[in-house]
Structure 1
């Protein structure tokens, strides 16, 4: 495929992205506007025209799936030598390469699960280490580290953003927990995923020869989903750049979904302040949804805009008209699941193939209610992108314990109380 043919496959705004090959570039891309298409064609066009060497481009995104999709697209476009990775995968690769030279020996073992270390740290400082507390404290440790908040600064930082303290703990206790967590990791010779970014950023900042080598390798950086960059990721990105401006970022402040974990659209919203000569391109042609869906999305984003926020992108639907959007409120999760299942059953009865009906939910834990409701309504279903609730190991284990508890239960004790006692002893807690 020729360079011109690459551009022929794009709409005018996507073509503007693809031809902006140098200098800082900011792409504000609404949902369904073909942002991945635009940035992969930009990279491929740069390679095809000789502006880029494939090995000199590093494209980073947030999930392994997105990185894999980007690699496939780039390979199909003739730019197979480009590195497309998640932040952590790119950082881990570089850290592993330079560690023997800078520190000596093999890098520390990567910790896959925080829970055992968090539980030990909690015991050392007298913090509750039941199942729920360990989960919440693990999340808080991740938030602190990706927000570049130390144990000494934790209380001030948490109060500044009005962050609820986890597991009912006082901020001082959480700060002690942060210190103990780092101590336990050091004793066991392990690092966590946040350490990968922290250690590499420190190595680049402190060892000029390492930074020079990395910056000489990667001359052109692309960051997808830039609205979800954390302070730690931005810090590493700054080290990769080393004051250069050959950076293309893609995102949409309205699509920020990881703010609870320390991500912030601030870096995207202030990009032109840090890069005053940036080229800004807006992708607003929505190829994914009908005018009814896009129109509702535009109205919702406009109505929920807070004072001081930038105006949201106003998307323009490219698909034909579809049915109107319906909105139904329910009293609770069970009623919602029953209502959704009843609606699916009516659609199937009217001749709509079940394969054309989708139920989307926010978190996997919500799947149980929908699975039960669909089964009760006689509607066959498949769970995509997640494990069936009753197939999860922790749920299977809990069911075994409940069956055993029911067999050994005192007839004079209410069954609900017996179930609570069994699950509490296994580390479960009331929702």
Structure 2
């Protein structure tokens, strides 16, 4: 590098400059989306090195993805800095463990486990748990969460109950699988990725000479995306630091979206308490997005409840004005997908590169209809963070089963019923699983049945051989070319990326927020942050859409996402469409979005989660049918046992109380109760209405 340290500072805004030039010691950079955090922290490393505050070889920077670590190394090399380490937590731990292993353990290093499903499967079989691939993936995820959260197998049931966590089997069985997996792994002298962190922390905590050598080598630490740190990663960081405080952390609590994997923004938010002398810098100038996109992002996140002070960043757009975000409501998902594909074509024809366009959704199962729509208009696409629909394992298995059944199938028959019968052994049940991998598999299989329904409606004499041929043709036509294409990705997979144009699709309650988050305020707020992440991926063009029915011509009883409340201008066509179609009785629409609700007793506007849930002010008298409430509770217990999910996943106590008070007589009245979306209406509506109408009021007996 030429020109000295001062040449690094050119072009920094005042807040970035304050972060870069802060003295050695604890520094916390609260960096909003698009505020140049990577440039800021890399420049800080360069400034400290070129100013002589620390040697390059004494710097260890860690982040959470190999892509982010690679970008940091590239930028450091551009500053002529080669000795500084920029790695993921796991890569850094692996390097250290390999070096210290002979002194700490004394024998040959254990091998790194290449995928844990085999051992999880053996442990599950011994514990009497199902060994289907989806179940094993969910069990592996639970083990990863427990280890990342520093929870031992014997403590797992109590911690799961405290966290109200949905589990793939009973907590006791999961704990048994977890313990069995650990025993099998140890017996085989293997380590998984979480063991790298556990053993690294233990080596430093329990061997003073190892800790001394390590801390003599590394003097300055930088942690990117600090809001995503897990308790296990924090333990490793604490072991690295010892009693020192030469630490720079960068993060944004508004982008905490991995709590399900054990991540917590608490270390970021509590940084000032731990280090009272810390320098805290806020980056709020957004250089990525237009002011219109930034304004919408601020609206989304400002509606969050109980936002900690350290998360109250308000972005300020620095780019020239751009187009307003688009909102659109559609009758059904095929219409929504067709409209998105048409808009993509318009953008491409106007000069937007395919690689600068993304369609983002909540779960991977939503991709199929958008894959179809893009293929129909000859727009290439790439699926990120998930396989293409026809490349998914469950879809390939289903297609093979259909081909086999088609060989011996007699002509004619009810095609959708025949397809459903073929898919039942593969996991297609009458009731959807509660969530996780099994739910995504179920959604994929259901989409194949709906495809059979579509074929039967257009080709009346279609049979299984005709359907098998249709699947093969669709799979071949939708295979994307190797050239650049529109990105299809889940919101989680989109974290850290950005595009000129972003389409946020399928924004309905039950999907955004996801159904199993309902009734848990913490989980709901994480879903809101996920939407915020999606909005902030867009540089210029942003579209938000939803559909009232899943299938063409289906019943339109879905409701747009509650997170969209107040975002759509009152004079926007989408607001007027929803007012005509979705207005519950005796409720007026709020500013362009979800209905403003009024107390059914006194008529005052309802404010707060519980009053809205109950449909009345908390101070107004209640008329609870205690007999109905008891029947609802007994029914919920039985359903939760049958589905093997916690009772609150079915309905929360507040929702049951609201049903017992309001005694809805039909599906429209039931779905008007806050917390009962389209998915729960489909799954439990008839049963609940039967409980309400099938017995006399307790006060009439």
Contact 2:269 2:308 in 1 (8 A): no
The Cα of 1:310 is off from its aligned counterpart by 4.2
The equivalent of 1:256 in structure 2 is 256
State whether structure 2 residue 341 is matched by structure 1 residue 341.
yes
Structure 1 residue runs of 5 or longer lacking an equivalent are none
The Cα of 1:252 is off from its aligned counterpart by 0.6
The Cα of 1:102 is off from its aligned counterpart by 1.7
The Cα of 1:395 is off from its aligned counterpart by 4.6
1:108-129 CA-to-partner distances (Å, cap 9, x unmatched) read: 1211212111111111111122
SS of residue paired to 2:153 = coil
CA distance in structure 2 between the partners assigned to 1:332 and 1:149 by the alignment: 44
The equivalent of 1:296 in structure 2 is 296
The equivalent of 2:82 in structure 1 is 80
CA distance in structure 1 between the partners assigned to 2:112 and 2:367 by the alignment: 31
Contact 2:269 2:311 in 1 (8 A): no
State whether structure 2 residue 290 is matched by structure 1 residue 278.
no
The equivalent of 1:202 in structure 2 is 202
The equivalent of 1:430 in structure 2 is 442
SS of residue paired to 1:322 = coil
Contact 1:406 1:418 in 2 (8 A): no
Summarize the Cα distance change of 1:54–1:165 in structure 2 as closer, same or farther, 3 Å threshold.
Answer: same
State whether structure 2 residue 160 is matched by structure 1 residue 158.
yes
CA RMSD of aligned residues (A): 2.4
Within a 5 Å distance, the mapping from 1:356-367 to structure 2 comes to 357-362=357-362, 364-367=364-367
CA distance in structure 2 between the partners assigned to 1:95 and 1:260 by the alignment: 27
The equivalent of 1:416 in structure 2 is 419
Of 6, 26, 35, which residue of structure 1 is paired with 2:8? 6
The equivalent of 1:388 in structure 2 is 388
1:219-271 CA-to-partner distances (Å, cap 9, x unmatched) read: 00000000000000000000000121110000010011211100000010001
Of 146, 165, 173, which residue of structure 1 is paired with 2:148? 146
Summarize the Cα distance change of 1:225–1:359 in structure 2 as closer, same or farther, 3 Å threshold.
Answer: same
The Cα of 1:8 is off from its aligned counterpart by 1.4
CA distance in structure 2 between the partners assigned to 1:418 and 1:202 by the alignment: 53
The Cα of 1:289 is off from its aligned counterpart by 0.1
CA distance in structure 2 between the partners assigned to 1:236 and 1:374 by the alignment: 45
SS of residue paired to 1:84 = strand
Summarize the Cα distance change of 1:99–1:329 in structure 2 as closer, same or farther, 3 Å threshold.
Answer: farther
Of 94, 97, 109, which residue of structure 2 is paired with 1:95? 97
CA distance in structure 1 between the partners assigned to 2:395 and 2:273 by the alignment: 50
Structure 2 residue runs of 5 or longer lacking an equivalent are 429-436, 444-701
- Which has the bigger relative contact order, CA under 8 A and spacing at least 6? 1
Contact 1:226 1:265 in 2 (8 A): yes
CA distance in structure 2 between the partners assigned to 1:79 and 1:55 by the alignment: 9
1:359-397 CA-to-partner distances (Å, cap 9, x unmatched) read: 234555543332111112x14123164553434566545
Contact 1:302 1:311 in 2 (8 A): no
Summarize the Cα distance change of 1:311–1:60 in structure 2 as closer, same or farther, 3 Å threshold.
Answer: closer
CA distance in structure 2 between the partners assigned to 1:323 and 1:104 by the alignment: 64
Contact 1:305 1:311 in 2 (8 A): no
Summarize the Cα distance change of 1:392–1:174 in structure 2 as closer, same or farther, 3 Å threshold.
Answer: closer
Contact 2:61 2:85 in 1 (8 A): yes
Summarize the Cα distance change of 1:79–1:343 in structure 2 as closer, same or farther, 3 Å threshold.
Answer: same
CA distance in structure 2 between the partners assigned to 1:430 and 1:255 by the alignment: 29
**What TM-score, normalized by structure 1, do the two folds share?**
0.92
Contact 1:401 1:422 in 2 (8 A): no
The Cα of 1:214 is off from its aligned counterpart by 0.9
CA distance in structure 1 between the partners assigned to 2:352 and 2:270 by the alignment: 47
Contact 1:29 1:282 in 2 (8 A): yes
Summarize the Cα distance change of 1:399–1:237 in structure 2 as closer, same or farther, 3 Å threshold.
Answer: same
Contact 2:345 2:379 in 1 (8 A): no
Summarize the Cα distance change of 1:354–1:242 in structure 2 as closer, same or farther, 3 Å threshold.
Answer: closer
Q: How many residues align?
A: 426
